[in-house]
Amino acid sequence: MELCGSGRLLLFLCVLRFVAAAAQRSVVSTVGSTAELSCIYTSAEKFILNNLRVYWQIEGGSNTCLVVHTFNSGNENDSESCADFKNRTRLFHDKLENGIFSLLLLNVSLRDARTYRCIVQKKDPVFKVIHDANVALKVAANNSLPVLSGPERIHTNIGEDMTFSCNYSQGYPEPNVYWINRTDNSSLRPSSLNITQDADGTYRVFSTLKIKATSTVKIECIIENELLQQNLTVLYLEDLTNSNSTKSGRLNLSEPGAQAGSVIAIAIVLVTLVVLTCWLWKRKSFRQNSYADVQQNEGGTQYNTTI
């Protein structure tokens, strides 16, 4: 039984290592950003750069575009790189001796979504391969915000048809589209959904929804980018029981960057409180110093102390 338990534990650890290694071999980047393709070889001693060769190339690439970046015996040779990658790749020169051969790919585009191979050779006494690793680069795009439009009529009566449209463009990969009724959090089936791919490879969405008007209309259009694990949400809100109410739309981004505005606002409030506290403390100290100038003598009279 103990051997069986140990075997299961060993299998579990192997699975964990495999999952961790697989995660390290996949990188997600966005269009226009800089991607770091990881290639790390751990060694007890530092490498001598003149005895190293580092080749970055496209795994299974064609003869017209194979070499991405070359480092040969302390020198880089950009002439061997194919035209798609010229002046767009960098190595961490200050980290090469420590076995970090990772590559920076600048200004990422959709066509960069490929599998890259890192080959490291060491001279001892002839050049031999000491490290060989693949990194899959996945590229995503979310370059625009969805637009949600409601009924064209100024006033809508309860029970009448309401038609909404949701537009989105410049997304990649192909997004998922959801309509949600936020009054009861139920999913709604779109009346139409048209997803097309533009010439640059990004996707465009046009979807419509038709519902019966209720006292409170609270409709959301959600654009989901699975690769980025990101949702773009637009909300339409209208109260039909209040003739003076106005239609409103709100955009929510379920990503870390979307919360930056809130963080900045909180920081401003905290800084303001600190400044106000310091000002009040200085004012109090000034008053205490002023009061100290007025002292009573033994007879009970007061005199001003000259400093």
Q: What is the pLDDT, as a whole number, of residue 289? A: 46
Residue 101 maps to which CATH number?
A: 2.60.40.10
Does residue 264 fall inside a structural domain? no
Q: What is the pLDDT, as a whole number, of residue 98? A: 95
**DSSP-assigned letters across all residues of the chain:** -HHHHHHHHHHHHHHHHHHHHHHHTEEEEETTS-EEE--B---SSPPPGGGEEEEEEEEEEETTEEEEEEEETTEE-GGGS-GGGTT-EEE-GGGGGGTB--EEE-S--GGG-SEEEEEEEEESSSEEEEEEEEEEEEEEEE-S--EEE--SSS---TTSEEEEEEEEEEEESPPEEEEEETTTTEEE--SEEEEEE-TTS-EEEEEEEEEE--SEEEEEEEEEETTTTEEEEEEEEEETT-TT---EEEEEE-SGGGGHHHHHHHHHHHHHHHHHHHHHHHHHHHHHHHHHTEEE-TTS-EEEPP-
In the predicted model, residues of the chain with pLDDT beneath 70 are: 1-24, 61-63, 153-154, 243-307
Q: What is the pLDDT, as a whole number, of residue 184? A: 94
Which of 141, 169, 187 represents a domain boundary (last residue)?
Answer: 141
- Per-residue model confidence as pLDDT tens digits over 72-82: 998 887 778 88
Does residue 132 fall inside a structural domain? yes
Does residue 230 fall inside a structural domain? yes
In a shared domain, residues 127 and 29: yes
- What is the number of structural domains in the chain? 2
Which of 97, 118, 141 represents a domain boundary (last residue)?
Answer: 141
Does residue 303 fall inside a structural domain? no
Does residue 2 fall inside a structural domain? no
In a shared domain, residues 220 and 160: yes
Does residue 73 fall inside a structural domain? yes
In a shared domain, residues 108 and 216: no
Q: What is the pLDDT, as a whole number, of residue 80? A: 82
Q: What is the pLDDT, as a whole number, of residue 290? A: 40
In a shared domain, residues 165 and 128: no
In a shared domain, residues 165 and 70: no
Which of 224, 249, 274 represents a domain boundary (last residue)?
Answer: 249
Does residue 16 fall inside a structural domain? no
Domain residue limits at 242: 143-249
Q: What is the pTM of this model?
A: 0.69
Q: What is the pLDDT, as a whole number, of residue 266? A: 41
